[in-house]
A and B are shown apart, each in its own frame.
Chain A
Amino acid sequence: MQRFVNNPDFIVDDMLKGYVKAHGDTIQLSERNDRVVKTIQAPIEGKVGIVTGGGSGHEPAFLGYVGEGLVDAAAIGEVFASPPAQSFLDAIVEADSGQGVACLFGNYAGDNMNVKMAVQLAEDEGIPVKYVTATDDIASSPPETREKRHGIAGGLFMWKAGGARAAMGGSLDEVIAAAQKAVDHTRSICVGLSSCTIPAAGSPNFTIEEGMMEFGIGHHGEPGIRVEPLKTADEIAAEMTGAILQDFGFSKSEELAVMLSGLGATPLMELYVVYDKVAEILTGQGHRIDRTLIGNFVTSLDMNGLSLTIVRLDEELKELLDYPGQCPAFK
């Protein structure tokens, strides 16, 4: 394993030290908990607090979305492992100005348990907390059990919508409704071409044979829907777009936001190659692409792969996406 690493067991701590030095003008570590990143302003008087959190290894998520008009505080876990309940609680406390806190996270088993414990602890401290879980990964559970689906890159739209509504002065219930609407309107799917390697484990988590691809792979390398011979970028783009469109089941032309996120080891060049075909298919079916995001938004360490996210927009979501937001990972 060729890595820029000191002690792999402390890679998260070392990353955070660099992160706060790089972005110290807008964010800082919590004084309560050195695994909580918060904006310098948080808590903002009169505003509902926005909290997220999750395992490390998905950079720029989750810490990259801490910023003005987005997330007030994020709990940072070990690589691919949920932060502990105490970290979620400390993030909630840092974000709370007395208007309550919306916790917006990714619906993994560990996150669910730790957030639920933290919500109970926060209630003991008199802080009302409600939560929304992103469920955009269509490969992680069939439509009948949508609520079990995991949140992947599409969580960005949940943070943006909830964060904007909070910045506009929305109540806790209004913030939760906005975040939930973004979740309900968002679908994603991943394709993986190679494994990722957890630094402390030192060897790849799994293998994808040369010349093969894994359709629907998870954000931690969880096995996908099928393993099949590697296809051309156009064919992969068509399958991913088709899977999402089938899941949406649109009956008319729609206004859409489209995001392609690399998983950590895919050149931007290839994301643009895939986007070309995605856009051709969507517009060819009469849809209008209102906005496009291409880059590394939620990654999986050094996995070679990408996720496609499509959001069905309406006037409210467009207003929320247009609202100013500024964080190191996204404007």
Chain B
Amino acid sequence: MEFTNQAGIAVVTAMIEAVCSNRDYLSRIDALVGDGDHGINMSKGFSMAGEELGKLDADMSEGLLTLSKVLVSKIGGSMGPLYGSFFRGMATASKDEPVINTTVMLNMLQKAYGRIAMLTNAQVGDKTLIDVLNPAVKAYEEAAAEGGNMEVCLSHMLDAAKRGLESTKEMAAKVGRGSRLGERAIGHQDAGATSCYIILEALAEASLRLVKAD
């Protein structure tokens, strides 16, 4: 189960489309705990990256790097540096790989997670995107270690990501703007965790489409 890095640009496009089409949903969730601009800023950055990519004949790794550069240089907020590091990690782990297989995807996820972890002290339980990303990457790792193919690994990843997302509803925020709410943040799903889930879902679905079309 694999796809070429060249064809993988479709994965980048899918992540961009997923974020842009969830613009209002993400802002609505953010408004409950934060300030309601999460969807606006994310979709602005991702759509700018989409425009950049329209001008290039990029493969997946170049596409990921473009996305990273736009987020770091144009978006700001917390999400610019966090997702900028995330996509740069993915780009770095795949740039010398003409074929994206189960192992390369594992390296991409691990590198992406490692880069984010360097930037934030947030831990699982703090009500951030780490609550989705950490269990998702772990689940992929475990499924891969047991010899699962890409479809199995990605599906385990998404299940864990979904559970992580759900778990943020019951948490009080410990970092970022929502931390000020204390107990009152309980009951609301975290916006950053939601965008992280949307991105992972698009990544998994687009990757599987490529694998199956192969």
Contacts and interface: CB of A to CB of B under 8 A. Distances in A.
Contact of B37 (A85, A109, A198, A223): A198
B80 A108 contact: no
A225 B44 CA distance: 33
Contacts of B120: 113
B180 A222 contact: yes
A223 B178 CA distance: 8
Given A9-B44, A86-B73, A223-B181, A201 B80 contact: no
Contacts, number: 98
B40 A84 contact: no
B177 A108 contact: yes
B72 A78 contact: no
B35 A205 contact: yes
B175 interface: yes
A263 to B, nearest CB: 14
The SS class assigned to the B binding surface is helix
A201 B31 contact: yes
Chain A contact surface mostly: loop
Q: Which of B44, B73, B184 counts the most A-chain CB atoms under 10 A from its CB?
A: B73
A84 B74 contact: yes
Given A205-B31, A205-B35, A205-B36, A84 B180 contact: no
Interface residues of A, number: 33
A240 to B, nearest CB: 18
B98 interface: no
A81 B41 contact: yes
B82 interface: yes
Interface string A183-218: 000000000000000101100011000000000001
Contact of B180 (A110, A198, A200, A218): A218
B81 A113 contact: yes
A39 interface: no
B27 A109 contact: no
Interface of A: 9, 55, 77-87, 108-110, 113-114, 117, 139-140, 148, 198, 200-201, 205-206, 218, 220-224
Given A198-B35, A201-B37, A218-B177, 5 more contacts: A80-B37, A81-B37, A84-B73, A86-B72, A110-B81
